[in-house]
Amino acid sequence: MVRERQLQNFDELVLAARASRTRAYAPYSNYAVGAAVLGSDGEIYKGCNVENASFGLTICAERNAIAAMVAAGCTSARAVVVVTSDAGTPCGACRQVLAEFSGPNAPVVCIGEGSEQHFTVGELLPSSFKFQ
Ligand SMILES: [Zn+2]
């Protein structure tokens, strides 16, 4: 029963990430990214990449999804799905943000067109920065 519920959540997470990817604003790279985060509150939070002519202001889909979760009052993610054309993995900045708002065992699934990669947050960033 718990596994069925997890699978249902996973399917919903993938659908949310795919839907979010269609909203990506990526006129410079043409690399559309959609992300969805399952919060510890059971809600799904979505994000897409939002580029800017001043490239340094671009914000990744993963960080936008986490920001939406935090803005809704939830500060812990159980799972993350990222959808791109090539199953690309989160950048270094996003890995640090994922580490801030999830445990090291939280799954991160990167889905492309015909391929996917499975990680945990701890695998993606084994020695994350921690403020002491
Ligand atoms: Zn990123």
Q: List the domains of the chain with CATH numbers.
A: 2-124 (3.40.140.10)
- Cα of 49 vs centre of ligand 1, distance in Å, is 8
Model confidence pLDDT, tens digit, residues 47-104: 999 999 999 999 999 999 999 999 999 999 999 999 999 999 999 999 999 999 999 9
According to DSSP, the β-strands at 34-39 and 77-83 are antiparallel
For residue 2, pLDDT over 70 is answered with no
Asked if 77 contacts 26 with a C-beta cutoff of 8 angstroms, the reply is no
Query: Is residue 100 flagged as an active site residue?
Result: no
- What tokens appear for 14 in the block? 């993938």
Residues pairing with 118 in the sheet: 109
Please give the distance, rounded to the nearest whole angstrom, from the Cα atom of residue 60 to the centre of ligand 1. 4
**What's the gap in Å between 61 CA and the centre of ligand 1?**
7
- pLDDT tens digits for 88-108? 999 999 999 999 999 999 999
Amino acid 28 reads Y
Helix/strand/coil for 117: strand
